[in-house]
Amino acid sequence: MAKELFMTQWFSQEMLLAGETLIKRLDESDAQVQAAFWLLEDEEKTWQLIIVSPLVKSAGPRNYYKLINDLNESASFEEEVVSLHDIHVAKASHRIVKAIQGIRDTALWDGIPWLNTRLGKNFINGVYFEDLYIYRMDRGPLAHHISDTVKQAA
């Protein structure tokens, strides 16, 4: 099995690359990743790789974690992987995703490249985050989910 990456409170190049590799493998497995980002939790000062997919809702989080575990186990021995302990799979209703999607129709959305972007010590739509590295934040599918949620609430 591959080497699990040791997490610190500082964002490292190893974390960036291990997350990028996992997302690429998930894409190759048709895991429907709509958003993926590292989030530094303010209170615990620990990083979590958040992966958002509609499969988390339809197939269940346990199955999605199993897919990630299988991909990690298939990694080469020298390769560093993100431990399941440091990964959180989520639906599009995750607080950060909802905050970011709330600005999708504003100039701020177009003013920030939502791909391979780091944002630190920020408030977006009233949601604070200590540090954030965004690999991907798909506008279309997530916006569709948000509008469906609003319709269901009405």
The predicted pLDDT at position 17 comes to 94
pTM for the full predicted model:
0.83
Digit-coded pLDDT (tens) for 90-130: 998 888 888 887 776 666 667 666 788 888 888 888 888 88
- Say which DSSP state 91 is in: -
What is the domain partition of the chain in residue ranges?
A: 3-153
Nearest Cα to Cα of residue 137 among 23, 30, 14: 23
Residue whose entry in the numeric block shows the structure tokens 């950060």: 96
Q: Which residues contact 50 (CB under 8 A, 6 or more apart)?
A: 35, 36, 37, 38, 39, 87, 88, 89, 90, 94, 96
Over residues 126-153, the mean pLDDT reads: 67
* pLDDT per position as a tens digit, 54-95: 999 999 999 999 999 999 999 998 889 999 999 999 998 888
